[in-house]
Structure 1
Amino acid sequence: MTQPIASTDADKRTRAGVFFAIAAYSMWGLAPMYFKLLQAMPAIEILMHRVIWSALILAGLILGFKQKAKVIKALRSRKVMTILLIAGLLLGANWLLFIWAINSNHILDASLGYYINPLINILLGRLFLGEKLRPLQQVAVVLAVLGVSVLVVSYGQLPWIALVLAGTFGVYGLLRKQVEVDSLPGLFIETMMMLPFALVFWLWFASPQSDMTTNSLEFNAILFAAGIVTTAPLLCFTAAARRIMYSTLGFFQYIGPTMMFVLAVFLYGEPLEEARLITFGFVWTGLILFSADSLRFYHRQKKLRLNFKKS
């Protein structure tokens, strides 16, 4: 009787990466529901709470998982710290714009941005990681460009919210894939770099809503939850980025923006004009082609590995 072929370390690593990617994008898809609870606060003030409470949670995780040595090692590397500084700035900008978009009734724009993001990942993977674009991937990118062009022609301006969200997060993920530091220590250092600015803002510029001595316990709990909403999906994302191909990571990206799209249209009643729907149609078609190509490529590679093991 033939024994089942044991999973290789690479297979286990890939499966873990897939799990982390699904978890990350699902949590991001539901994030607008959380930020709507804080709609009365300025976006920059919500960002302040994200940074402060994320830093506190991450510090506890660093100690709990005994990651202090990895943090110290990263701090001693000028290259690592430079990359994490740039990544942290991109991350902060992405957070701020995302919060503003959600609470300014631009969830559809945010959704479009994260639909475009996997196609941005394909281009970044090609330009900086040497990942070759297969024919269907090239078609998918072209369709996304055509979709954006529809909005440019219809409204006379670029969908800047979507493009900035996609671009900042795409480059952030690329940088994190290049740096030799685990997800938890890396995210901790990035957040600590933003912490001094957040504390200064809290002490001198924050509104009375951030005075936790006068708030209700319920509202303070919502503010503190910003740390959980922030750190949980990011830890999953960076863990996924280090385990699977960067272009493959984009395959799971559709989960988050689909949830946002549904929330925007059916829960929050954002208008879905014809031009915007056409743009989504182009991007969706590109993602379908990209997904089909990724699945075909994955199964072909898996078959080759199995044949190699048998031989």
Structure 2
Amino acid sequence: MTTLTRYRTGLVYGVAAYVIWGLLPLYWGAMGKTKAFEIISHRAVWSLLVCFIALAFRKEFRSAFKALKNPRTLALLALTSGLLSANWAIYIWSVTVNRVVEASLGYYITPLVNVAFGVFMLREKMRPLQWAAVSVAAIGVAALTFDFGHLPWIAIGLAVSWGLYSVIKKSLPVTALQGLTVETLIAMFPTLTYLSMLQVSGDAAFGNSLWLSLGLAGAGIMTVAPLLFFNGSTVRLPLSVVGLLQYITPTIMFIIGVTVNGEAMPLARWIGFFAIWVALICLGSDLWKSGRASNQGIAQS
């Protein structure tokens, strides 16, 4: 495979991953009045099944479950399992209550939260464009707080949970697929207990309709497929390009929230989002410049 072909393949994988993630609000919204926690529970159960199939196909079963033998790795995966569950819960709940625009804000500010985590947790030094991005983003969040009448908790919850999840996962000796397998496996006891209670009480949506049941079961594919596409892109593309592609997801979510769901966008909210977009342009420029500098350094070495 030539370098150009490899790059184009990585680009296709990356765009596919972020487009699927961006369209997920439409998928969860199609579940109708199904309880958010039932959707989350089915997402975990069917994701685990798809993960098992993917691991078997890739012959990674043994390496995936080596993590269970290491107490430190297992403890950290239990923590990331909780963070992932919290992220899924906030995200799917935001869709069920028609607050997709605020959820999109969460994924817009996640890169900025990652910069903050790098400074406070990893003692990294911020570059000038990063300082500019964080400062402008703070103005945007202030404008949105004024508009909402409170802090945008959905956005903050999504950004912080995903940011912490990403920071911890970077330190673990597992692939994204292996990690997701163990994380969903850890969550199985409470998940299956909750779904069993719903079935016994007759409150479960699963089984009431063929299409709804297929939709809930399909949550596994909708979760694992973009993850595999994402993995395929990260091994073929520079991180600077992957970092820029990530803005596809919240942009699609924002468009869905405004056009499909008809969510209100008063002036103060537009100002807040505009400030966030300016901040992301600053951050994207910094990412692109640092990525090019790294690539030049590698080429010269």
Q: Considering the TM-score relative to the shorter chain, is it more than 0.5? A: yes
Q: Is the 8 A contact 2:47 2:221 kept in 1?
A: yes
| 1:243, distance to aligned residue in structure 2 (A) | 8.7
Query: Given the alignment of the two structures, is residue 210 of structure 1 paired with residue 205 of structure 2, yes or no?
Result: yes
277-286 or 62-71, which deviates more = 62-71
Task: Give the whole-Å Cα distance in 1 for the aligned partners of 2:17 and 2:184.
Answer: 18
Match of 1:47 in 2: 40
| 1:16, distance to aligned residue in structure 2 (A) | 8.3
1:56 paired residue among 49, 52, 61: 49
Match of 2:119 in 1: 126
Q: Is the 8 A contact 1:18 1:244 kept in 2?
A: yes
| 1:194, distance to aligned residue in structure 2 (A) | 0.9
Task: Give the whole-Å Cα distance in 1 for the aligned partners of 2:249 and 2:206.
Answer: 32
Match of 2:284 in 1: 291
Task: Give the whole-Å Cα distance in 1 for the aligned partners of 2:172 and 2:15.
Answer: 23
Secondary structure (helix, strand or coil) at the match of 1:184 reads: helix
Query: Given the alignment of the two structures, is residue 141 of structure 1 paired with residue 134 of structure 2, yes or no?
Result: yes
Match of 1:89 in 2: 82
Match of 1:3 in 2: none
Match of 1:279 in 2: 272
Secondary structure (helix, strand or coil) at the match of 1:52 reads: helix
Task: Give the whole-Å Cα distance in 2 for the aligned partners of 1:291 and 1:270.
Answer: 27
Task: Give the whole-Å Cα distance in 2 for the aligned partners of 1:299 and 1:150.
Answer: 34
Match of 1:26 in 2: 19
Query: 5+ unaligned residues in a row in structure 1: which ranges?
Result: 1-5
| 1:63, distance to aligned residue in structure 2 (A) | 1.9
| 1:17, distance to aligned residue in structure 2 (A) | 7.4
39-48 or 144-153, which deviates more = 144-153
Alpha-carbon RMSD across the aligned residues, in angstroms, is 2.6
Task: Give the whole-Å Cα distance in 2 for the aligned partners of 1:75 and 1:119.
Answer: 32
Match of 1:254 in 2: 247
CA 1:294–1:72: 2 relative to 1, 3 Å: closer
CA deviation vs aligned residue, 1:205-238 (integer Å, no higher than 9, x gap) = 35544342x532x332211111111222344556
| 1:53, distance to aligned residue in structure 2 (A) | 0.8
What fraction of aligned residue pairs are identical, expressed as a percent? Answer: 35
TM-score (norm 2): 0.88
| 1:242, distance to aligned residue in structure 2 (A) | 8.6
Query: 5+ unaligned residues in a row in structure 2: which ranges?
Result: none
Task: Give the whole-Å Cα distance in 2 for the aligned partners of 1:28 and 1:118.
Answer: 16
Q: Is the 8 A contact 1:119 1:140 kept in 2?
A: yes
2:93 paired residue among 96, 100, 116: 100
| 1:30, distance to aligned residue in structure 2 (A) | 0.6
Secondary structure (helix, strand or coil) at the match of 1:70 reads: helix
